[in-house]
C-alpha cells in the first residue's frame, strides 16, 4: 500500500462527524429532542398505558457524499465542508419528514385535526385547537403550551392570532377560560395517577 496517516485522518474524521452532528441538529425542528440511544437489539416495541402495543420500525437515514478521486488533489476544505453540511441536512430532512408523518398519523388517529380548508388560521381555529389537545402544567401551575411548527403562510396568521390573544380582552377571557378548563382536566388526569384498592 501507499504511505498513509490513519491516526491523523481519524482525528479529522472526528471533527467532520462532530460538525455533521451540529448541522444535523440545527436543521431539525426546534422542539427536536436528543433521541435515546439504543445500544443493542434490532427491534423496538412500545407498550402503552392501556396495554396496547405497537412495534416501531427502526429505519436507516442516510446521505451520500460523492467525491471524485481525481478531485482529491485540488479540493478545498470549504468544498468538503459543503458536502458534509449537505449530507447532514439531507439526513435531517429525512428524519423531519418521517417525524411529521408520524405526528400526522397519530393526530389523524385520535381526530386532533383541524382543517382550515386553505384559508388563514383565525383565533377561533386556535381556540378549537387548544380545546382538542391535552395541556400539562408545570410546578408553578403555568401551562406547558405546544410548540408550533408553521410554514411561512401559517406563521403570519399565527403571529396575528398570538398578538390578538395579548391585546383583545374578549380573546384573553376566552383563552383564560380554556386554560382553566384544561387545568381542571389536567388535575383530573394527575389525580388518576394513583394506586387504588
Other C-beta atoms lying within 10 Å of the C-beta of residue 20: 19
Is 141 a binder of another protein (CB under 8 A)? no
- Near another protein by CB under 8 A, which window of 43-51, 79-87, 90-98, 175-183? 43-51
In degrees, rounded to 5, the angle at the alpha carbon of residue 93 between the alpha carbons of residues 92 and 99 is: 90
Distance of alpha carbon 138 from alpha carbon 161, whole angstroms:
24
| Smallest gap from residue 188 Cβ to another protein (A) | 11
- Near another protein by CB under 8 A, which window of 5-13, 35-43, 116-124, 157-165? 35-43
Is 37 a binder of another protein (CB under 8 A)? yes
Q: Which of 1, 5, 49, 110 binds another protein (CB under 8 A)?
A: 49
Is 30 a binder of another protein (CB under 8 A)? no
Handedness of CA 146, 92, 15, 74 (dihedral sign): negative
| Smallest gap from residue 21 Cβ to another protein (A) | 7
Is 60 a binder of another protein (CB under 8 A)? no
| Smallest gap from residue 29 Cβ to another protein (A) | 16
Tell me the CA end-to-end span of the chain in Å, nearest whole number: 74
Location of C-alpha cell 423496538 = 44
Q: In this complex, which beta carbon is closest to another protein, that of residue 37 or of residue 119?
A: 37
Are 149 and 139 contacting, i.e. CB atoms less than 8 angstroms apart? no
> Which of these, 141, 28, 156, 159, lies nearest to 88 by C-alpha position?
28
Distance of alpha carbon 26 from alpha carbon 82, whole angstroms:
15
Is 189 a binder of another protein (CB under 8 A)? yes
Q: In this complex, which beta carbon is closest to another protein, that of residue 82 or of residue 136?
A: 136
Location of C-alpha cell 386556535 = 126
Q: Which of 1, 2, 8, 34 binds another protein (CB under 8 A)?
A: 34
Which residue ranges make up the site for another protein (CB under 8 A)?
18, 21, 33-49, 51, 138, 189-190, 192-197
Amino acid at each position: 500500500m501507499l504511505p498513509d496517516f490513519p491516526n491523523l485522518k481519524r482525528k479529522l474524521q472526528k471533527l467532520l462527524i462532530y460538525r455533521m452532528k451540529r448541522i444535523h441538529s440545527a436543521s431539525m425542528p426546534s422542539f427536536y429532542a436528543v433521541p435515546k440511544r439504543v445500544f443493542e437489539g434490532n427491534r423496538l416495541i412500545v407498550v402503552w398505558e392501556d396495554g396496547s402495543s405497537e412495534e416501531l420500525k427502526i429505519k436507516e437515514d442516510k446521505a451520500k457524499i460523492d467525491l471524485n478521486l481525481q478531485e482529491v488533489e485540488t479540493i478545498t476544505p470549504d468544498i468538503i465542508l459543503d458536502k458534509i453540511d449537505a449530507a447532514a441536512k439531507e439526513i435531517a430532512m429525512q428524519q423531519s419528514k418521517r417525524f411529521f408523518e408520524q405526528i400526522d398519523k397519530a393526530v389523524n388517529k385520535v381526530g386532533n385535526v383541524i382543517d382550515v380548508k386553505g384559508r388563514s388560521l383565525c383565533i377561533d381555529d386556535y381556540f378549537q385547537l387548544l380545546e382538542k389537545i391535552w395541556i400539562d402544567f408545570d410546578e408553578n401551575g403555568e401551562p406547558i403550551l405546544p410548540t408550533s411548527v408553521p410554514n411561512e403562510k401559517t406563521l403570519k396568521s399565527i403571529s396575528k392570532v398570538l398578538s390578538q390573544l395579548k391585546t383583545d380582552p374578549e380573546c384573553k377571557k376566552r383563552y383564560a377560560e380554556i386554560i382553566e378548563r384544561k387545568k381542571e382536566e389536567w388535575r383530573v388526569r394527575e389525580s388518576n395517577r394513583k394506586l387504588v384498592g
